[in-house]
């Protein structure tokens, strides 16, 4: 049997496989999501996310140092306040928990790239992502609050802000607020395509952000839709977003690819808490090899078109890159 074209020739040996690899990954594209809470001396494991912790600001630097040693230089902070109210005032307070985290992180690690999640759900007594009118989230009334949150985070030291609320028009509101206050160079990474997903369950436990009533389907997207994802992405791009995010990652690789096709902006994807919990649970039961699954799911996101990857496995992935297992 004579065959001129043999694809297997390029699979013969690890050096050759790496040489012809189509999808390449780098530690600089990794972002680690971190939970910070009020108090001191706290390093509290999250029951639904084994291996992940809530940190008080005084304990947070130890975890940040470990990340930096691994080569992960970017962190997104999520605040867990002691006090919540109907307007989420802790989200934009000068002495709010996430503002404290930014100041401490920048003081201890000036080169760490710090990103603020701009939303209200962790800070509102009702757990929704905006201001309520009855039991309905009032889109337009919420915009000024989101802009105020973003400004407070940047003033506290955030290098980038990432609105995750899914209100229409929030990118423009935030861009205007930042520009008017002298922060025209601060980029916005918009959660442009955020689905109403069951994969968020462990996060809501971690951050205490489950809605007190109803759900978020009136503002987060229906997971049946992909053309709507393109519309949302292009609207945010038109409002001044610098980076577009798709969330979650694992079940939305087709969406990542579609959004990648229609824009020249960098694309981020968030490998969310449910994805993390599933991998950890499967590995704990001995059903899957944890390291192999982490590497394969990450490579799948990058192969689909991701430029930036938010993941609770950031430190592990950085280590696997050093080992040559992925990258």
Can you spell out the DSSP letters for 97-163?
HHHHHHHHHHHH-TTSEEEEEE-STTTBTT--SS-EETTEE-HHHHHHHHHHHHHHHHHHT-SEEEE
Residue closest to 212 by CA, chosen among 119, 121, 83, 120: 121
Do the beta carbons of residue 38 and residue 95 sit within 8 Å? no
Sorting pLDDT into bands at 50, 70 and 90, what band is 126?
confident
The torsion region of residue 225 among left (phi > 0), alpha (psi -120 to 50) and beta comes to: beta
pLDDT of residue 275: 96
pLDDT tens-digit map of 298-327: 999 999 999 999 999 999 999 999 999 998
pLDDT tens-digit map of 146-169: 999 999 999 999 999 999 999 999
If you average pLDDT over residues 247-264, what whole number do you get? Answer: 97
If you average pLDDT over residues 99-120, what whole number do you get? Answer: 97
pLDDT of residue 206: 67
The Cα 207–Cα 205 span in angstroms is: 6
The Cα 103–Cα 153 span in angstroms is: 10
Sorting pLDDT into bands at 50, 70 and 90, what band is 128?
confident
The answer on pLDDT for 47 being more than 90 is yes
Do the beta carbons of residue 215 and residue 129 sit within 8 Å? no
Specify the DSSP element, H or E, that contains 204: helix 201-207
Residue closest to 60 by CA, chosen among 94, 97, 101, 96: 101
Q: Which residues are identified as catalytic?
A: 194, 247
If you average pLDDT over residues 200-219, what whole number do you get? Answer: 72
If you average pLDDT over residues 5-15, what whole number do you get? Answer: 88
pLDDT of residue 213: 65
When the pLDDT of each residue in the chain is averaged and rounded to a whole number, the result is 94
- For tokens 């798709």, what's the residue? 246
């Amino acid at each position: 049997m004579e065959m001129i074209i043999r694809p297997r020739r390029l699979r013969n040996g690890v050096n050759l496989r790496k040489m012809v690899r189509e999808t390449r990954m780098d530690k600089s594209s990794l972002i680690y999501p971190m939970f910070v809470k009020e108090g001191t001396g706290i390093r509290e494991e999250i029951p639904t996310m084994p291996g992940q912790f809530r940190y008080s600001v005084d304990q947070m630097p130890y975890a940040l140092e470990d990340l930096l040693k691994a080569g992960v230089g970017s962190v997104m902070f999520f605040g867990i306040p002691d006090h919540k109210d109907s307007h989420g005032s802790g989200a934009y307070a000068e002495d709010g928990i996430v503002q404290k985290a930014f100041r401490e992180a920048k003081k201890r690690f000036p080169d760490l790239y710090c990103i603020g999640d701009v939303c209200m759900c962790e800070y509102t007594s009702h757990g929704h992502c905006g201001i309520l009118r009855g039991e309905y989230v009032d889109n337009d009334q919420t915009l000024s609050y989101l802009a105020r949150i973003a400004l407070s985070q940047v003033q506290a030291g955030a290098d980038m802000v990432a609105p995750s609320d899914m209100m229409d028009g929030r990118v423009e509101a935030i861009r205007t607020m930042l520009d008017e206050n002298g922060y025209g160079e601060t980029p916005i990474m918009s959660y442009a395509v955020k689905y109403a997903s069951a994969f968020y369950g462990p996060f809501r436990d971690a951050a205490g952000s489950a809605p007190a009533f109803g759900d978020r389907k009136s503002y987060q997207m229906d997971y049946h839709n992909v053309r709507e994802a393109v519309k949302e992405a292009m609207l945010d791009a038109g409002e001044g977003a610098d980076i577009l995010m798709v969330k979650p990652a694992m079940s939305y690789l087709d969406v990542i690819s579609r959004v990648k096709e229609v824009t020249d902006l960098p694309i981020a994807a968030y490998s969310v808490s449910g994805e993390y919990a599933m991998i950890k649970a499967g590995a704990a039961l001995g059903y899957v090899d944890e390291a192999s699954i982490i590497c394969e799911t990450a490579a799948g996101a990058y192969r689909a078109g991701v430029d930036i990857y938010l993941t609770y496995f950031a430190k592990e992935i950085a280590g696997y890159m050093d080992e040559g297992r992925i990258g």
